[in-house]
């Protein structure tokens, strides 16, 4: 296993380029199963979750080729319908294979998904949506088994206990493209990654309107064709690096950051006394280090993203005042709190809310990350902590950030990967 050795770093400065969005690339790659034709997907991040998805596609009989950040998918020999447990168990997003497999093969077997341990993330909305389209679904020996001779369009409600579901919306969208008749998805997720998938499906010949709103209409077609599609920039990576600049008293040009995808994040950073200005193709972030406490509640898009809750929690540990950070998407997503406390942070949990009292400085310590975004938060805390920090659990971070330490190093951070 690798670890990060992190030293207290000065202000980050310079420019950084944002990679393609992992959370957009995964369903787009799954969507390539919906046609026999070749598809070329550009701006794909080579992170472990995406590599795992390509390996699953290959097990299903799909030919996958990498050329730098471009992935070519040739599904003409695609005959499989069972995703392997040893790969699916590594990545929750593999559940988005259910819709394409069902639509193309009439059956799908996908083990219950794995990934980060951040509390319960039920998949009932996925199953509910596919059953509404006519699928019969059972759970056999830990596998989700779906069958349907023919999918039929209908009205699907995807409103869950914690709001809409991005992957459930993606699954139903993909399945509905080849279903008979019209499908109407109510309470659809509005995230940019859903819009990116919809744009890719439309380029493949799908008939779809309303993506980006809570009501999506899809008219099923008999077949889709291949396409060339470019993945959107990763808004979570952009937000993470923006927070890193703010915490370090830095001045960083974040190329690829899309303001429309980061509205709630920009608003909270400005409220915390961080200067953010548009620049050609991105955003410029400047901070004098005098950060104000802010209250944050995570919500579905366009609200503050749950995938940046841990990072802004790290920022609030060195801000002036008391912050309330409420997690409305995954109420148990606070594993990073105990490790930040080991570094001198003053944080208390009250149910789904973390109360953070800012301190003058953090102290470096050995810490262990147990999930992807928590790992990023601990790395950012290490950059501003006294002395040195030893971050274990880097494999979680590698699931979603491409060349994380190299990008920070080029901005002036002291962070080094070593084999433990």
Domains, the chain, ordered by start: 2-19+233-419 (3.65.10.10), 22-230 (3.65.10.10)
How wide is the angle at C-alpha 156 spanned by C-alphas 152 and 160, nearest 5°? 145
Q: Which residues are catalytic?
A: 116
Bridge partner residues of 64 (DSSP): 73
- The residue to which tokens 């080579």 are assigned: 46
Print pLDDT tens along the chain (420 aa): 899 999 999 999 999 999 999 999 999 999 999 999 999 999 999 999 999 999 999 999 999 999 999 999 999 888 889 889 888 888 877 889 999 999 999 999 998 765 454 444 468 888 999 999 999 999 888 889 999 989 999 999 998 776 789 999 999 999 999 999 999 999 999 999 999 999 999 999 999 999 999 999 999 999 999 999 999 999 999 999 999 999 999 999 999 999 999 999 999 999 999 999 999 999 999 999 899 999 999 999 999 999 999 999 999 999 999 999 999 998 889 999 999 999 999 999 999 999 999 999 999 999 999 999 999 999 999 999 999 999 999 999 999 999 999 999 999 999 999 997
pTM: 0.95
Token pair for residue 46?
Answer: 């080579």
Cα–Cα distance measured from residue 50 to residue 56, given in angstroms and rounded to the nearest whole number: 10
Taking a C-beta distance cutoff of 8 angstroms, is the pair 225, 35 a contact? yes
The alpha carbon of 30 is separated from its chain's Cα centroid by a whole number of angstroms, namely 15
The string of DSSP letters for 77-94 reads T----B--HHHHTT-GGG
């Amino acid at each position: 296993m690798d670890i990060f050795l992190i030293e207290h770093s000065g202000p980050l400065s310079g420019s950084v380029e944002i990679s393609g969005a992992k959370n957009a690339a995964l369903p787009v790659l799954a969507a390539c199963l919906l046609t026999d034709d070749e598809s070329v997907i550009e701006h794909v991040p080579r992170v472990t979750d995406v590599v795992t998805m390509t390996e699953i596609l290959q097990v299903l009989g799909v030919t996958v080729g990498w050329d730098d950040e471009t992935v070519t998918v040739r599904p003409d020999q695609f005959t499989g319908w069972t995703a392997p447990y040893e790969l699916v168990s590594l990545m929750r997003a593999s559940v988005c294979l259910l819709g394409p497999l069902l639509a193309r093969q009439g059956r799908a077997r996908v083990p219950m998904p794995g990934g980060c341990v951040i509390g319960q993330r039920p998949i009932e909305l996925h199953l509910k949506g596919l059953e509404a389209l006519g699928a019969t679904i059972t759970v056999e020996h830990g596998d989700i088994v779906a069958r349907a001779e023919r999918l039929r369009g209908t009205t699907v409600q995807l409103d869950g206990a914690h709001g809409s579901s991005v992957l459930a919306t993606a699954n139903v969208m993909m399945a509905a493209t080849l279903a008979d008749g019209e499908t109407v998805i109510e309470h659809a997720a509005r995230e940019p990654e859903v819009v990116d998938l919809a744009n890719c499906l439309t380029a493949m010949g799908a008939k779809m309107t309303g993506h980006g709103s809570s009501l999506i209409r899809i008219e099923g077609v008999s077949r889709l064709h291949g396409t060339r599609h470019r993945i959107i920039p990763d808004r979570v990576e952009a937000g993470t690096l923006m927070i890193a600049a703010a915490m370090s008293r830095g001045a960083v040009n974040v190329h690829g950051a899309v303001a429309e995808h980061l509205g709630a994040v920009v608003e909270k950073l400005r409220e915390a006394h961080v200067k953010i200005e548009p620049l050609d193709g991105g955003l410029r972030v400047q901070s004098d280090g005098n950060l104000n406490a802010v209250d944050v509640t995570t919500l579905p898009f366009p609200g503050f993203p749950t995938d940046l809750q841990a990072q802004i929690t790290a920022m609030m540990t060195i801000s002036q005042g008391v912050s309330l950070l409420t997690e409305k998407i995954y109420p148990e997503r606070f594993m990073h709190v105990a490790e930040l406390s080991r570094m001198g942070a003053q944080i208390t949990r009250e149910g789904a809310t973390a109360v953070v009292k800012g301190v003058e400085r953090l102290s470096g310590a050995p810490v262990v990350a147990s999930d992807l975004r928590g790992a990023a938060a601990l790395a950012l805390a290490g950059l501003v902590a006294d002395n040195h920090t030893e971050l274990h659990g880097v494999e979680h971070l590698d699931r979603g950030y491409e060349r994380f330490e190299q990008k920070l190093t080029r901005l002036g951070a002291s962070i080094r990967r070593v084999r433990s």
